[in-house]
Amino acid sequence: MARKKIIAGNWKMNMTPSEAVKLVETLKPLVVNDEVDVVFCVPAIDIIPVIEAVKGTNIQVGAENMYYEEKGAYTGEISPAMLTDVGVKYVVLGHSERREYFAETDESVNKKMLKAFEHGITPIMCCGESLTQREQGVTMDFIRQQVKIGFQGVTADQAKTAVIAYEPIWAIGTGKTATTEQAQEVCEGIRACIAEIYDEATA
């Protein structure tokens, strides 16, 4: 059975709450499609107003990050329970910018993956290689490691609900463009990696 397609937009550190609501109102009539899942992954401060703005539509709201602890002295972080309490369904984990600027590791992404599943949040786990890694011919070695560590302890049933987002980091702001063929090759490699960990049905 073919999987339902998902279109997810990561807003990064853009849009004040009022700007976010205006953008949602503009986008709502453009994304009415029952054949795909549409997800807006928005800054933490925008989550509640955006959830209100998308009510009655096919749009789901995701967070751009979360921490792997339930609560405590983790200033500036957001717990999975906080997200589920307001209706968040998805969370972006391991984005290249989080890895580069905030020292996230494959291991911390794995902890977040497990906690997201525990709370019924669908993780959108990001993976991708740098220009140096692509030029060295180690693209799939690097991405396979990200996937294998990211999915440690994740059950097959959980893995079937996860989303893996490939981001060719080498094509971001470099003037280079990832072709459809290059992206498809990596996506096939990711599926093969998931099949090795679990089985073909899960991949």
Tell me the catalytic residues. 95, 167
Tokens of 36: 């795909």
Q: Which helix (H) or strand (E) holds 180?
A: helix 180-197
**Encoded tokens for 24:** 């949602």
φ, ψ of residue 152 in degrees (nearest 5): -60, 130
Residues forming beta bridges with residue 5, ordered by sequence position? 36
For the record, the structure tokens of 158 come out as 């959980």
Q: φ and ψ at 14, to 5 degrees?
A: -135, 150
**Residue 107 belongs to what H/E stretch?**
helix 106-118
Structure tokens at 156: 């097959």
CB atoms within 10 A of CB 22: 13
| Phi, psi torsion values for 125, nearest 5 degrees | -85, 125
- Furthest C-alpha separation in the chain: 48
- Return the bridge partners of 122, or none: 90
Q: How many helices (H) and strands (E) does the chain have?
A: 9, 6
